[in-house]
Amino acid sequence: MNALDTMRALASKGEVMTVEPGEVIFNSGEAGDCMFGLLEGSIELSWNGEQGLEQIQAGDVFGAGALVTSDHRRYGSAKALTACRILRMNREKFLFAVQEAPMFALELLGSIDQRLRALKDYTRPTAG
């Protein structure tokens, strides 16, 4: 089981969004009150004035920082590259998931760690 599976198990129908290519999911500097799980499609995350880019694929979760800090402002922006189905999880469901399914927190940390490692490998300069 992964973080998205836990999100899916707790979701209600109203928490699934359909997003068209090019549509912005959130912008840098906006208040954040939810995290997302990508069910279908591809999302581009950008930060630092689009100097940093990451592509989120189906099965990934993103935007979790909004649920772990108070008065959170989004660090980056998220935009759909393709038509997407996205699962939205608010703070109340997040806290419930962490309390009732503690493995969810570990799954989420594992997902973030995997993305950060892949991003570091992608941005690492090559010799020569």
58's CB contacts (< 8 A; 6+ apart) are: 38, 39, 40, 41, 42
Residue 126 has pLDDT above 60, yes or no: no
Instruction: Return the pLDDT at 112.
Output: 82
Structure confidence by residue, pLDDT tens digits, 5-48? 888 888 887 789 999 999 999 999 999 999 999 999 999 999 87
The proportion of the chain whose per-residue pLDDT surpasses 90, expressed as a percent, equals 42
- Top pLDDT among 73 and 81 is at 81
May I ask the CATH architecture of the domain 3-123? Answer: Sandwich (2.60)
37's CB contacts (< 8 A; 6+ apart) are: 3, 4, 7, 8, 60, 61, 86, 87, 89
Q: Is the pTM of this model over 0.85?
A: no
Amino acid at position 72, single letter: H
Name residue, tokens 């690492």: 124
